[in-house]
């Protein structure tokens, strides 16, 4: 029996699915270039797992299921679960005013902003970080990401009446976890989420300790190498093009954590999925609250991110009710530097689809749709 046939036998997937999926991803992530780790689980069995391309162009290390990617905004679900754990323990209510925990937010606009508004991107709080220099944004941390909130004097809409996807409010939720739990945010997530979920190596980015990230992939972009990084605009320059590194040091606000700082692998993310299913990090009734459509994304005039028909946001997850037999699709995407991430759950069939890529030049929605058709999720 060939190695390929043995792998298909062990994972239980059909040869048709295996070959069609493999052809799909080989076409998107060619050898010798930045690539992706792809994993599909049905029930409690991983039915497809392959690495494509390179994790590090300098060393030539290949992408595998153990390669660690920055999962960017897919980190938001972990922050949401941390907040929901505190609510489950009775230490806060999701309907509490945010200003009750942040007395420094004294402007009247904060009177009606509740915790659940932050969790669902429906607070009306705008992202006003745009006045910073590029150097400030590149080195930006949680303090720099949220300091403008102290002087904020208007909201874009009344809380609970619209959708605007922004990162600073999730950074604020990380601060909330610290103030309520009395524990530094990343330490809290490690102790209360990573450890009970069995995510033994997952961690948050630390600019001063990047050596702690195991089997780390770098993010890459493909563009004109004759221009400075701040002048690069994909598809518009005239000089020679090649892959260049695009993560910390090149991308802005890479070092903030509650909104997008986790490094993990597709294999460790499977442990997260199982922990959610088994209730080992959060009771089912609270998870169901997170997976309930709260904020209508479709048609928002304030934010384009994932703004497509039939899309909602819960607490830390996008929700896509489907009428094609798939039921709810509960997912999140992540974009940070050269990293482009998809993590989608299909509760009706107990399926999980993961595509962790260290290049951003691929059609994530199109790939998601193709996987759904090939794999009969």
- Would you state the structure tokens that stand for residue 215, as one six-digit string? 């089997």
The percent of residues in the chain predicted with pLDDT above 70, rounded, is 92
Q: In the predicted model, is pLDDT for residue 219 greater than 80?
A: yes
Residue whose C-alpha is closest to residue 295's, from 280, 277, 307, 278: 307
pLDDT digits (tens, 9 = 90+) for 356-373: 999 999 999 999 999 999
Of 56 and 252, the structure prediction assigns the larger pLDDT to 56
Residue 367: helix, strand or coil by DSSP?
A: helix
0.75 surpassed by pTM = yes
DSSP letter string, 180-194: HHSS-HHHHHIIIII
Task: Average the pLDDT over 97-121 and give the result.
Answer: 98
How far from 135 is each of 142, 245, 254, 259, CA to CA, in Å?
15, 17, 12, 20
Rounded to an integer, the average pLDDT of 220-225 is: 81
**In the Cβ-directed half-sphere of 256, how many Cα atoms lie within 13 Å?**
31
246, 221 Cβ separation under 8 angstroms: yes
Instruction: Please give the pLDDT value at position 138.
Output: 80
- Looking at residues 160-172, what average pLDDT do you find? 97
Whether the per-residue pLDDT at 101 is higher than 50: the answer is: yes
What does the pLDDT look like over 319-342, one tens digit per residue?
A: 999 999 999 999 999 999 999 999
CA-derived radius of gyration, the chain: 20
Residues in contact with 228: Cβ distance below 8 Å, sequence separation at least 6, in sequence order: none
What stretches of the chain show up as alpha helix (H) in DSSP?
A: 3-11, 15-28, 76-88, 115-119, 134-138, 142-146, 168-181, 185-189, 195-197, 266-278, 284-290, 364-375
Residue 362: name the closest of 4, 26, 9, 104 by CA. Answer: 26
Q: Are 238 and 298 in contact (CB under 8 A)?
A: no
Please tell me the predicted confidence (pLDDT) of residue 234: 40
Contact 219, 339 (CB under 8 A): yes
């Amino acid at each position: 029996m060939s190695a390929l046939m043995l792998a298909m036998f062990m994972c239980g997937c059909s040869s048709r699915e295996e070959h069609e999926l493999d052809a799909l991803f080989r076409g998107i992530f060619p050898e010798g270039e930045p690539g992706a780790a792809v994993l599909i689980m049905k029930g409690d069995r991983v039915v497809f797992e392959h690495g494509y391309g390179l994790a590090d162009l300098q060393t030539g290390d290949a992408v595998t299921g153990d390669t660690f990617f920055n999962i960017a905004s897919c980190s938001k679900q972990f922050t949401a679960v941390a907040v929901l754990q505190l609510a489950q323990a009775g230490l806060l209510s999701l309907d509490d005013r945010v200003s009750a925990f942040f007395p420094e937010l004294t402007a009247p606009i904060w009177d009606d902003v509740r915790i659940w508004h932050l969790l669902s991107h429906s607070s009306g709080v705008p992202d006003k970080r745009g006045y910073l220099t590029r150097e400030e944004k590149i080195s930006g941390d949680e303090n720099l990401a949220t300091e403008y909130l102290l002087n904020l004097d208007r909201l874009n809409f009344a809380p609970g009446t619209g959708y605007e996807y922004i990162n600073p409010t999730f950074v604020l939720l990380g601060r909330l976890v610290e103030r309520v739990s009395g524990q530094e945010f990343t330490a809290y997530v490690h102790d209360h989420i990573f450890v009970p979920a069995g995510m033994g190596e997952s961690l948050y980015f630390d600019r001063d300790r990047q050596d702690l990230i195991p089997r780390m992939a770098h993010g890459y972009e493909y563009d004109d190498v004759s221009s400075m990084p701040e002048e690069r605009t994909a598809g518009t320059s005239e000089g020679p093009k090649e892959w260049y590194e695009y993560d910390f040091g090149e991308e802005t606000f890479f070092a903030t954590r509650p909104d997008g700082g986790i490094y993990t692998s597709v294999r460790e993310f499977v442990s997260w999925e199982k922990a959610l299913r088994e209730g080992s990090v959060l009771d089912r009734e609270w998870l169901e609250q997170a997976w309930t459509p709260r904020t209508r994304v479709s048609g928002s005039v304030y934010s384009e991110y994932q703004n497509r028909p039939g899309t909602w946001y819960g607490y830390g997850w996008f929700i896509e009710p489907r009428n094609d037999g798939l039921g709810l699709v509960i997912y999140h995407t992540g974009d940070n530097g050269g990293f482009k991430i998809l993590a989608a759950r299909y509760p009706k069939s107990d399926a999980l689809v993961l595509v962790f890529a260290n290049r951003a030049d691929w059609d994530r929605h199109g790939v998601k749709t193709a996987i759904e058709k090939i794999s009969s999720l």
